Chains A and B, each alone.
Chain A
Amino acid sequence: MELQELRRKRKSSFWSKVLPFVPYVIQSGVAVLFLLLLLAFAAWYTNFLQHIPPGLPVLWIMLFLLGPMTVYSGFRTYVQPADIIFLLPREADMKSYLSPAYRSGVIYKLIGLYIILILVWPLYIRSDVDSKPLWLVMLLLLLLKLLSAYGSWQELRLTTARARMWYRLLRWSVILLMLAAWLWQPAWKSSIFTVLVGVNYILALRFPMKHAVPWDNLIAAEKTGAAKVMMWLGWFVEVPADGQKVIRRRWLSSVGNRMPWQRSTAYRFLITKTFIRSELLGIVARLTLLGMLLTGWNGASWLGIGLYLFFTFLIGAQLTSLHQIHADSPAAAFYPLPAGAHKAETIRLASRLLLVLAVLMWIPLTAASWEDNLTWVLLSLVLAIVLVWGLKATWVKKWKEEDE
């Protein structure tokens, strides 16, 4: 079979497994809530654009919104572990298999990046900064995206994990610096800077040792890519959460070690260790930081409280994916865990964690409005506690029904 045809078949096979879930995503209450929130955001943003506060750090907002989206690169290759045996003899022809992955990796992410740009553009041109023309910014983002995708692809080819880590850090620094230069500096200075840094970055990528086709890295990246899609689906519907990326996080290794030593804590030990090494922890941490930032900025206004509750809910929705972790693990069937431990410990971890994070997000809101709006400050905490309790009750009911 032609390699391009093989990739096409694999791609269609993967998405044919995902697409049947889409109607359920649309039907789920979470999707409707997201839509309502989107409408509310649109109304708020339109109003905001008409009354932009003076001194708003627009350039920082642009860098914050566009930077990570420009740097972020990922490729869906649909390679499988067995390819090491069956496709290795055709390694020399793999370019025809991998090129479409590279192209679509750039195109889809570029579309997402342009959507963000279009959204933030009215804010950029209406503020009192020296703005650049849209075509120029679009061209710049295209070039930076291509450079980041090239760098990311070369990182996959690197032979050592340490080199991959340092070159990843270098890519993030280089792309963010270039974007910042274009935002803050005149075009002629930024062009020179971009060319100089870009050429040096490409030259730097030539030094380390690389694989011709990085089979192991491609398989691991594909596993993570597929798991991310399933995790996203898991926010709305019940899907297996296997294959998600495991991150070592040595600095968190001691979490869970001081649990009481008894059989009833065995599953708690497992799920706690799993959580601290999951991608979910990163997602939840980012959402919490963003929530803290936005609630602190808006204080105890109706918008601040709305955002506070929205982020509490959003984090709660993410934490529901803990339910899928180890749900189908065969190992759990032959360890003598107490009956119902999976459900009880998942609910315990998710609800306690959510409560702690809700309190954390409440601190900046309190700091911003403690003196002028004490009633609203306290009300927001009460509402958040009620929301956490409500989510916990929903999980108990929903997962009990599933068990039955």
Chain B
Amino acid sequence: MSEIPVLQVEDLSGGYSVGRPVLHDIQFQVNKGEMVGLIGLNGAGKSTTMKHILGLMSPQRGAITVQGKKREEDAEAYQSSLAFVPESPLLYEELTVREHLEFAARAYNVAKEDYEERAARLLKLFNMEEKADSLSMHLSKGMKQKVMIMCAFVARPPLYIIDEPFLGLDPLGIRSLLDFMIEMRSQGSSILLSSHILSTIENYCDRFIVLHRGEVIAQGTLAEIAEQAKLPGAALEDIFYSLVKGGD
């Protein structure tokens, strides 16, 4: 028997008003230990897809399961199975960096010893030790993004939903994030990652989902989507360009 996918999106249609769906019959899955890149132009539906997965929006049609469970079946278990890093950092101004990590660890029921060990490592990895006791309101945008990333990684759920994580990060931060994502993947975590920096994610993602105007126009490994675009051996950027131009 094959393993249940960590994330399964089936025939998902949805949007901000009932008569006008933004997403049309989206279908994909993310398996255990897989890093999947969700790519598309601005307004293609990447963030809307992620909002549906998170439960911030309800599907008009179709279903989403995480670890085989729908959100309606057990909201708390569903939410505990994933961590989200949004495109724009959403932090509590009243909490310090360390307190954000503690809040996330408590919310995800991480054991105290694990939290302490993970927090210390993440603060060091993302070069945030000196800022650990600063209020989030006093951080730069890149540092705020680092806090969001650290909150997700302190939780260690089976699935990470990461939306444009590289925005505002310094080169060292980008490198640390990529290395850490690889480490998480090797430990069995799954990652759904959206980014416009195609040259970077090309070397890190196992598979890609190309969204265009709310539809999946191609998906698979780099070789498979190159095949679909009739550009065997091409770089992700060229494949993507050909696919979205062809879709117009």
Contact = CB atoms under 8 A, between A and B. Distances in A.
A116 to B, nearest CB: 33
A262 B108 CA distance: 9
A273 B76 contact: no
A246 B137 contact: yes
A331 B79 contact: no
Interface stretch (A65-73, A75-83, A105-113, A335-343): A335-343
B54 A270 contact: no
Main secondary structure of the interface of A (DSSP, over half): loop
Contact of B94 (A265, A266, A277): A277
Nearest to B81: A336
Contacts of B90: 329-331
B41 to A, nearest CB: 24
24 contacts: A246-B93, A246-B135, A246-B137, A253-B96, A261-B106, A261-B111, A262-B106, A263-B106, A263-B107, A265-B106, A266-B103, A269-B106, A270-B95, A273-B99, A274-B92, A274-B94, A329-B92, A334-B54, A334-B56, A334-B79, A335-B103, A335-B107, A336-B80, A338-B76
Contact of B107 (A277, A278, A336, A339): A336
Given A334-B54, A335-B104, A270 B92 contact: yes
B161 to A, nearest CB: 9
Interface in B2-52: none
Interface residues on A, range: 20 to 34
B175 interface: no
Interface in A240-278: 246, 248, 253, 261-263, 265-266, 269-270, 273-274, 277-278
Interface in A189-245: none
Contacts of B112: 261
A339 B111 CA distance: 21
B94 A278 contact: yes
B25 to A, nearest CB: 25
Nearest to B56: A333
Interface string B52-68: 00111000000000000
Interface residues of B, number: 28
Nearest to A270: B103
A8 interface: no
Contact of B103 (A248, A262, A269, A278): A269
B98 to A, nearest CB: 10
A273 B96 CA distance: 9
Given A246-B137, A333-B56, A335-B103, A273 B95 contact: yes
Contacts of B208: none
A164 interface: no
B153 interface: no
B197 interface: no
A266 B79 contact: no
Contacts of A326: 92
Interface in B77-102: 79-80, 84, 90-96, 99, 102
A334 B56 CA distance: 8
A262 B92 CA distance: 20
Contacts of A334: 54-56, 79, 84
A278 to B, nearest CB: 7
Contacts of A333: 54-56
Which has the most chain A C-beta neighbours within 10 Å: B94, B103, B108?
Answer: B94
B123 to A, nearest CB: 17
A329 B135 CA distance: 17
B109 interface: yes
Which has the most chain A C-beta neighbours within 10 Å: B102, B112, B133?
Answer: B102
A269 B102 contact: yes
Nearest to B148: A331
A326 B96 CA distance: 16
Interface in B103-126: 103-104, 106-109, 111-112
A330 B107 contact: no
A145 to B, nearest CB: 31
A338 B107 CA distance: 8
Nearest to A277: B94
Contacts of B104: 335
Nearest to A331: B90
A331 B86 CA distance: 10
Contacts of B235: none
B172 interface: no
B109 A263 contact: yes
A70 B96 CA distance: 35
Which has the most chain B C-beta neighbours within 10 Å: A262, A330, A335, A336?
Answer: A336
A277 B92 CA distance: 11
Nearest to B106: A266
Given A246-B137, A333-B55, A273 B106 contact: no
A246 B96 CA distance: 12
A338 B76 CA distance: 7
The 8 closest A-B pairs by CB, nearest first: A336-B79, A266-B106, A266-B107, A336-B80, A335-B107, A274-B94, A263-B109, A277-B94
Nearest to B136: A246
A79 B168 CA distance: 26
Contacts of B103: 266, 269-270, 335
Nearest to B115: A261
